Amino acid sequence: MQYLKVIFCGLIALVLFTAQGCMDPKAVIDQNTELPNHNWAYVNRIKYNVKIDDETIPYNLYFNLRVTGSYKYSNIFVLFHQTSPGKKTAATRYEYKLANKDGEWLGSGSGNLYSYQVPLRTQYKFPAKGVYHFEIEQNMRDNPLHEVSDVGLRVEKAK
């Protein structure tokens, strides 16, 4: 029985060590949220909390997106909401081009899915340490917006 515990603990340690080696040391957060039935409704804001420990260094913020090949637009509009630890809020509207005029997708493809990681802010310095709350809201005319598979946020320490 003791032998099995040692093997089990060793396997756990190996898995944790391997997982740490695969993580990006620059990333503060890099998460995606899968949308049910590939439909993104106005009320389905994608929410993330990000802890910023050092306000003296710049960060890059990215919008992560995956759409299917059946997505019917060549662009997407999103509203990006940020609430600081002091409860100050700001919202910015972004438009991202997803395809060329000839219909060629600009994202990286895998099967029928196209992935994008596009800048929201670069070399951005957060005003203070603490937990920031982010919400990403689709801002297209269609509600729900069809054929959007995943939406996410990446915050990384800038080089």
Element (DSSP H or E) covering residue 126: none
In a domain, 14, yes or no: no
Answer for the pair 140, 73: CB distance below 8 angstroms, yes or no: yes
The per-residue pLDDT for 111 is: 84
Residue 152 lies in a domain: yes
Evaluate whether residue 16 is within a structural domain.
no
Task: Residue 93: give the domain boundaries.
Answer: 27-157
Question: How high is the pLDDT of residue 23?
Answer: 67
| CATH number of the domain residue 98 falls in | 2.60.120
Q: How many domains would you assign to the chain?
A: 1
Domain-embedded: residue 126: yes
- Mean pLDDT, the chain cut into blocks of 10 residues (159 residues total): 48 41 79 97 97 96 97 97 96 97 92 95 96 98 97 95
Whole-model pTM: value is: 0.82
**For residue 138, what are the CA distances in angstroms to 9, 42, 57, 66, 92?**
45, 6, 30, 13, 12
Q: Which of 147, 123, 127, 122 is nearest to 63 (CA)?
A: 122
Residue 2 lies in a domain: no
**Count of CB atoms situated within 10 Å of the CB of 119:** 13
